[in-house]
Chains A and B, each alone.
Chain A
């Protein structure tokens, strides 16, 4: 179960499980998490549970709440988040609130009245095995560009930052350059004849582009470079 670890001056002073739909935080003693510090407002913030999410919301407190140095009003808590409230720090720990969780198998939940509220862990059908976050796969993508030799883009450089870009003349001859984790590829899109790389027709299969390759498609001629 998710929990909040309350810290003061680097020492743990409390431990609260998030076991209900709404947890209140503030200086007044009736709050679920009572933080006795002049920098904390009486009703400072709440944490609401919606499905697998715990949403932190500052209730317009005088001194605010900060996450990693930036002021927040509303935030979906992520495992390891540390929120500063007055002299206190709240550390959110929930091994399920990781990016991996997002790709668990689709599950049906019953929301009889469509009201928000805690979803019991048993409501799901099943959960999948942990997988790696997608951001890690984006890192290390090589960046390429083409430089126009002849045609519309002669003398220009075009960075190939998006996942794909087409070149050529619509209806006559078009090829697409794909940016993929292993590198750049060129593939035929339309036209009776395929584009040429270093004078050779690329054919119908994807063709790997190498640094310095010369591409001819439609009225265009380009040189491909890896940065």
Chain B
């Protein structure tokens, strides 16, 4: 059984109303169950180079890694599934590649990117995250943010310096505290979550969540979940209607209902085992 039968993807990306260039990069891969998004920054129009590199390295690394997953003799392997270690490793590889390319090409110096990705496997999801591109989950029509921004603003809120309600008044929205391409090593946040049938996952660049309120994102996903491509396009449109100050990218994934995920025999044996 391929992952293709278990997860449905849809996506949309746009430069926005104000910017001429789109420095976001996105990709999905139904074969391995991957959704990935990178929001590039810095350099003279090299942000798109950094984000495109991040996305392609992650994809290649994961295709290879998932082909030969082996138990690992490291401390982290006790706490995380091999797939989760693989997404972390892939993000670290992307960081190294961006640094290498930037060093060899002076015009790319200083480029960097955020990276957020989710890998679906069995009934789990492995998440890796650096920067302020978010992963949300819609479950039972409630929107939840699964990643915590690596931004100065998020740090201020966490430290109690700013009420989350006052965060809109802050001018630190655009300051990320972690990114790929800045240092030799990058701290990658990883997380594992259960996947329930009917869950919808939303990966987005800050061009969406800065322009569209969470309540409106939730509304759009609840109302339009029957048509994921339309939902993705309309979310981008909503960001642009509200001003479109930044590049905006949206990747959506829906976990299929169990009947399509498990064969009849599988389910019968499942009952016997109980």
Which residues of A are interface residues toward B (Cβ below 8 A)?
A: 48, 50-53, 55, 74-76, 78, 96-97, 101-109, 111, 114, 116, 119, 124-126, 128-129, 131-134, 137-138, 162-166, 170-171, 174, 176, 178, 180-181, 187, 189-190
Contact = CB atoms under 8 A, between A and B. Distances in A.
B161 A116 contact: yes
A48 B126 CA distance: 38
B136 to A, nearest CB: 17
B78 interface: no
Interface string B127-166: 0000010000000000000000000110110010111001
Nearest to A182: B241
Given A131-B245, A164-B219, A190-B226, A107 B210 contact: no
B211 interface: yes
A131 B211 CA distance: 13
A190 B229 CA distance: 11
Contacts of B112: 108, 125
Which of B163, B234, B245, B246 neighbours the largest number of chain A CB atoms within 10 Å of its CB? B245
A15 B19 CA distance: 37
A108 B242 CA distance: 25
B242 A137 contact: yes
A172 to B, nearest CB: 11
B115 to A, nearest CB: 13
Given A134-B211, A137-B243, A109 B152 contact: yes
Nearest to A136: B243
Nearest to B43: A125
B193 interface: no
Interface of B: 18-19, 39, 41-43, 110, 112, 114, 132, 152-153, 155-156, 159, 161-163, 166, 169-179, 182, 206, 210-211, 216, 219-220, 223-224, 226-227, 230, 234, 237-238, 241-243, 245-246
Contacts of A53: 156, 162, 170-172
A114 B132 CA distance: 16
13 contacts: A52-B170, A52-B171, A53-B171, A104-B174, A108-B42, A109-B175, A131-B245, A164-B224, A166-B224, A174-B226, A178-B237, A180-B241, A189-B230
Contacts, number: 147
Which of A52, A106, A162, A190 neighbours the largest number of chain B CB atoms within 10 Å of its CB? A106
Given A52-B172, A125-B41, A176 B132 contact: no
A137 B152 contact: no
Contacts of A75: 166, 169
Which of A78, A163, A176 neighbours the largest number of chain B CB atoms within 10 Å of its CB? A163
A134 B244 CA distance: 9
Contacts of A190: 226-227
Given A53-B156, A76-B166, A125-B41, A166 B174 contact: no
B219 to A, nearest CB: 6
A108 B179 contact: yes
Nearest to B111: A125
A152 to B, nearest CB: 16
A102 B224 contact: no
Contact of A102 (B177, B210, B219): B210
A171 B1 CA distance: 27
A192 to B, nearest CB: 13
A119 B177 CA distance: 12
B242 A51 contact: no
Contact of A109 (B156, B170, B176): B176
Nearest to A50: B156
A70 to B, nearest CB: 14
Contact of A116 (B114, B159, B173, B178): B159
Contacts of A74: 162-163, 166
Contacts of B237: 178, 180
Which of A53, A107, A119, A133 neighbours the largest number of chain B CB atoms within 10 Å of its CB? A53
Contacts of A171: 226
